[in-house]
A and B are shown apart, each in its own frame.
Chain A
Amino acid sequence: MSETGQNTGQNGLVLAADGTPLKKSLARSLRVEKLRALALIAPLLLFVLFSFIWPIGEMLFRSVDNRDVGEVLPKTVAVLKDWDGTSGELPDETVYKAFTADMLVAIDAKQHTKLGRRLNYETSGISSLFRKSGRKIKKLDLETDGPFKEALIKIDKKWGDVETWKAIQTHSVKYTDGYYLAAIDMQRTPEGAAAQSEDKRIMMTLFKRTLWMSMIITGMCVLLGYPVAWILANLPARSANLLMILVLLPFWTSLLVRTSAWKVMLQQQGVINEVLVWLGMVADDSRLVIINNQFGTITAMTHILLPFMILPMYSVMQTIQPTYLRAAKSLGATNWTAFWRVYFPQSIPGIGAGSILVFILSIGYYITPEIVGGAKGVFISNRIAYHISSSGNWGLAAALGAILLAVVLVLYWVYDKIVGIDNVKLG
């Protein structure tokens, strides 16, 4: 301690109370502070990384993962590599022998039906071939029952079909783009990627419909949300707060409640039809079909997503000075010019923020289209759910999910550029 009250070392360095140079001491306390902050964040970060980011990563991996064939039929895949599928000739005895050996192991482990299902996604009919042949191949003896080419063809003549072997060869790679091709209505053939047959093309229709209907829903929300946001922003605070309840109440009501309300309203014997029949506007035998089609999905989803449009618009419109409009009018602008050239351009950020939010939310919607959309009004997410829970083609579900995720992330990137993720507000 020096007399002047300043801690100065011999070489002129400023010292902290404990005698270390101040710079070092500061750096140390900064490090401690950083570590403490990280220690507070770490549990949550690890939890989210482990139970959210990792599952998403696993989904992405599953969309290209194709180890099933190689794992179940290791020997066959190894020898089949040298076979030229384009020659039109069947593979030789070594392939058949390796295949029988693989199958005997697979049947013991009950893996062959799984493999059959996997190959069935690409070439229909293979699943039953594997299942049926499995029982008979089980009886073969690897030592005595050769030659296996004849034996297998005797079990099922499809083993004498070049296409079957081509399918196995084509899908024996470890990683495949097959699921992604299937997700855009194409398939992997021995000759490379090719379009799916006409009757199986459904994905592109669904993707297009998802995008198109999301756009209509977003447009409807802009149309209905703009006047409401305007009146909320321009009324005196007391009445605006009261009206705000009408926006926030649906926002806070359970999604299932609103969806069931729309089902009750829209169905054939529902409230809207009954009222119209009662008023005599619609004949009893020609009730409007407004559910289980695109109209149902669009109406219900516009209602459900409207608050997401109104709230960002409202927060932008609140910041627009009403004096600008008056100034424009006093300078001779007509009502329309004053609105269109002065007010509207200032409200565009709100429209942009709301639109992107509504669009992102709507392309991932599943529950509402499933209940009020019928067959014509469902989205790509319904297809994902179908492949997860009904068809079991998880790879395809993962690929569809990955494509949807990519679209959403691009949109969020745009949203971040325009609005900033930090400006997300709730309620």
Chain B
Amino acid sequence: MAALTPISRKPFWLVALVVGLFGGFIGLFVGTANGNGPMGVFIGAALLIGLAWFYIYVLKDERAGRGITFAGLGIAGFAAAGMPGLVLGAIFGAIGGWMIYWMYEGRYRAYVPPYLTAGQVLWHFTFRVICGAIFIFLITPILVVLPLSFNAQDFFTFTPEMLRFDPEGYSLKHYRDFFSNNEWQRSFKNSLIIAPIATIISVTLGTLAAIGLSQSHVPGRRAIMAILISPMIVPLIISATGMFFFYSDVGNWLEGLGLGKTFVGYVKVVLAHAVLGIPFVIITVTATLVGFDRSLTRAAANMGADPVTTFFRVQMPLILPGVISGGLFAFITSFDEVVVVLFVGSASQKTLPWQMFTGLREQISPTILAVATILVFISVCLLTTLELLRRRSERLRGMSPG
């Protein structure tokens, strides 16, 4: 982004004020950790103001100044608290050094419109800090889980070894536990059986229905749409209650036909999950069909293709991105679902989320964090796939990816 405003050097008192506040804020944490908050505030503020004075009036070389702050504070941190001190000190030094010059050279002004008053500039940056805090709130829980899953001990917090970046503090033992423990493996397998089958059912039926719904003359389209979307609208706990009554009858009936108890259990859970995935397929596929050029099917028919060939050779390839993303939604719905399977399934259909749920409720074991990390990885993959599909379909429609 090009600079909007020409920049000029700022008076020293302004630089001192801002870096002093920053230094004091960081100093507060260091101070309280060592038992004296006010002292920390004072030292932190004084340190940065002193450095700023030194750089501006004596050193007058930006590169050297930033280098000195970065390295100096890193070494000071290492001397005081070892490895964690080095990292924290270096980070603090890098930000502090950058901030001194950012303020002094007036660079903060470059990318805000020239007509803003000082107060507006202040608000502009305060607002960004607030937003940054909210983004941190959004992402922290996930970021905390990832390193903790490599914890060498059965604690749910960072051990001193981990903070020292000591290889002793890290291990893959929770992952090993996940891959060797029968309970976890069985539930993982169950998830891998139930979710794909449920997805296939909802995608097949859902795509057909979405094509039907996108025809120009459908009697009662609104009502049909409302019924098909209802599984997404009704809270899961209510769907689960209804299905609990329903599938216990269905299960008894199926078992009466002579089918095995475990098999019937899987059928029940798969059907229940398929229903929950349907709204997602319907919504994404109908959205894709809105942009589908219907003269293509007519052209295909004109050249002698029967409806089935037309569907598979012409329509399907074009709406495939929508179908796949609907399928991904359905998959993640089933893969993630715990309330319905808790009510409908029995112990032999225990899925991964169910196992996690019982683990969280009863004796929480760190293996859960390893599972959580694996699931985060899976969802990152799904998110990437979806984004790529979205770009592809936008490119096909002649729009630039937003």
Q: Is the interface on chain B under 10, 10 to 19, 20 to 34, or 35 or more residues?
A: 35 or more
Q: Judge whether B283 and A426 touch: CB under 8 Å.
A: yes
Known: A265-B141, A271-B144, A279-B33. A256 touches B234 (CB 8 A): no
Q: Judge whether B339 and A41 touch: CB under 8 Å.
A: no
Q: Judge whether A280 and B35 touch: CB under 8 Å.
A: yes
**Chain B residues with Cβ under 8 A from A59's Cβ?**
238, 241-242, 245
B218-241 Cβ-contact flags toward A at 8 Å (1 or 0): 110000111111110111111111
B34 adjacent to chain A (CB < 8 Å): yes
Q: Judge whether A44 and B142 touch: CB under 8 Å.
A: no
A104 adjacent to chain B (CB < 8 Å): no
Q: Judge whether A279 and B32 touch: CB under 8 Å.
A: yes
Bound CA span A120–B283, Å: 46
Q: Judge whether A51 and B379 touch: CB under 8 Å.
A: no
Give me the interface of A with B, judged by CB distance under 8 Å. Answer: 30, 33-34, 36-41, 43-45, 47-49, 51-59, 62, 224, 227-228, 231, 236-237, 241, 243, 245-250, 252-265, 267, 269-271, 274, 278-281, 303, 306-307, 335, 360-361, 363-367, 370-371, 381, 384-385, 388-389, 394, 397-398, 401, 404-405, 408-409, 412, 421-422, 424, 426-427
Q: Judge whether B375 and A254 touch: CB under 8 Å.
A: yes
Bound CA span A365–B240, Å: 12
Known: A237-B402, A263-B364. A45 touches B227 (CB 8 A): yes
Closest residue of chain A to B220 (Cβ to Cβ) is A38
Q: Judge whether A257 and B29 touch: CB under 8 Å.
A: no
List 10 contacting pairs A-B, 8 Å CB cutoff, sorted by A.
A33-B216, A44-B278, A52-B230, A243-B135, A246-B139, A250-B142, A252-B383, A263-B360, A388-B240, A389-B343
Q: Which of A52, A243, A254, A271 contacts B336 (CB 8 A)?
A: A254
**Chain A residues with Cβ under 8 A from B335's Cβ?**
254
Bound CA span A241–B375, Å: 23
Q: Judge whether B142 and A62 touch: CB under 8 Å.
A: no
14 new A-B contacts, CB < 8 A, other than A52-B239, A426-B329, are A44-B206, A52-B275, A58-B246, A224-B134, A247-B138, A249-B139, A250-B139, A254-B372, A261-B142, A264-B157, A265-B140, A267-B156, A366-B236, A408-B235
**Chain A residues with Cβ under 8 A from B29's Cβ?**
279
Q: For window 151-165 of chain B, which residues contact chain A by CB distance below 8 Å?
A: 155-158
**Chain A residues with Cβ under 8 A from B135's Cβ?**
228, 243, 246
Q: Which of A30, A54, A228 contacts B246 (CB 8 A)?
A: A54
Bound CA span A228–B230, Å: 30
Give me the interface of B with A, judged by CB distance under 8 Å. Answer: 1, 29, 32-35, 37, 120, 123, 127-128, 130-131, 134-135, 137-142, 144-145, 148, 155-158, 205-206, 208-209, 211-213, 215-219, 224-231, 233-247, 271-272, 274-275, 278, 280, 283-284, 329, 332, 335-336, 338-339, 342-343, 353, 356-357, 360-361, 364, 368-369, 372, 375-376, 379-380, 382-383, 386, 402
**Chain B residues with Cβ under 8 A from A254's Cβ?**
335-336, 353, 372, 375-376, 379
Q: B169 to nearest A CB, angstroms?
A: 15
Nearest 10 pairs of A and B residues by beta carbon:
A364-B235, A40-B212, A55-B246, A55-B242, A261-B141, A44-B209, A37-B215, A41-B212, A381-B237, A59-B242
Q: B324 to nearest A CB, angstroms?
A: 13
Q: Which of A43, A388, A397 contacts B208 (CB 8 A)?
A: A43
Q: B139 to nearest A CB, angstroms?
A: 5
Q: Judge whether B205 and A367 touch: CB under 8 Å.
A: no
Q: Which of B206, B236, B280, B361 contacts A371 (CB 8 A)?
A: B361
Q: Which of B35, B233, B243, B343 has the most CB of A within 10 A?
A: B233
Bound CA span A384–B343, Å: 11
Q: Which of A39, A47, A241, A421 contacts B275 (CB 8 A)?
A: A47
**Chain A residues with Cβ under 8 A from B217's Cβ?**
30, 33-34, 37
Q: Judge whether A264 and B134 touch: CB under 8 Å.
A: no
**Chain A residues with Cβ under 8 A from B280's Cβ?**
426
**Chain A residues with Cβ under 8 A from B369's Cβ?**
260, 264
**Chain B residues with Cβ under 8 A from A367's Cβ?**
338-339, 357
Closest residue of chain B to A239 (Cβ to Cβ) is B1
Q: Which of B137, B211, B215, B275 contacts A33 (CB 8 A)?
A: B215
Q: Which of A55, A243, A381 contacts B245 (CB 8 A)?
A: A55
Closest residue of chain A to B353 (Cβ to Cβ) is A256
Known: A37-B215, A37-B217, A401-B238. A43 touches B205 (CB 8 A): yes
Question: Count the A-B residue pairs with Cβ separation under 8 angstroms: how many?
Answer: 274
Bound CA span A271–B37, Å: 21
**Chain A residues with Cβ under 8 A from B233's Cβ?**
360, 408-409, 412
Bound CA span A49–B275, Å: 10
Q: Judge whether A363 and B137 touch: CB under 8 Å.
A: no
Q: Judge whether A48 and B237 touch: CB under 8 Å.
A: no
Q: Which of A45, A370, A397, A426 contacts B224 (CB 8 A)?
A: A45
Bound CA span A255–B336, Å: 7
Bound CA span A9–B378, Å: 67
Closest residue of chain A to B233 (Cβ to Cβ) is A412
**Chain A residues with Cβ under 8 A from B383's Cβ?**
245, 248-249, 252
Bound CA span A263–B372, Å: 12
**Chain A residues with Cβ under 8 A from B235's Cβ?**
360-361, 363-365, 381, 404-405, 408
Closest residue of chain B to A362 (Cβ to Cβ) is B235
Q: Judge whether A274 and B237 touch: CB under 8 Å.
A: no
Q: Which of A258, A278, A422 contacts B33 (CB 8 A)?
A: A278
Q: Which of A252, A264, A279, A384 contacts B382 (CB 8 A)?
A: A252
Bound CA span A224–B131, Å: 8
Q: Judge whether A260 and B241 touch: CB under 8 Å.
A: no
Q: Judge whether B224 and A249 touch: CB under 8 Å.
A: no
**Chain A residues with Cβ under 8 A from B138's Cβ?**
228, 246-247, 250, 303, 306-307
Q: Judge whether A58 and B227 touch: CB under 8 Å.
A: no
Q: Judge whether A260 and B238 touch: CB under 8 Å.
A: no
Q: Judge whether B241 and A259 touch: CB under 8 Å.
A: no
Known: A56-B239, A335-B120. A427 touches B215 (CB 8 A): no
Q: Which of A56, A247, A271 contacts B234 (CB 8 A)?
A: A56
Closest residue of chain A to B372 (Cβ to Cβ) is A257
Bound CA span A256–B219, Å: 41
Closest residue of chain B to A282 (Cβ to Cβ) is B32
Closest residue of chain B to A30 (Cβ to Cβ) is B217
**Chain A residues with Cβ under 8 A from B245's Cβ?**
55, 58-59, 62, 394, 398
Q: Judge whether A56 and B242 touch: CB under 8 Å.
A: yes
Q: B352 to nearest A CB, angstroms?
A: 8
**Chain B residues with Cβ under 8 A from A306's Cβ?**
138
**Chain B residues with Cβ under 8 A from A40's Cβ?**
208-209, 211-212, 215
**Chain B residues with Cβ under 8 A from A307's Cβ?**
138
Q: A340 to nearest B CB, angstroms?
A: 14
Q: A25 to nearest B CB, angstroms?
A: 16
Bound CA span A270–B158, Å: 9
Bound CA span A249–B218, Å: 38
Q: B136 to nearest A CB, angstroms?
A: 9
**Chain A residues with Cβ under 8 A from B142's Cβ?**
249-250, 253, 257-258, 261
Closest residue of chain B to A299 (Cβ to Cβ) is B137
Closest residue of chain B to A366 (Cβ to Cβ) is B237
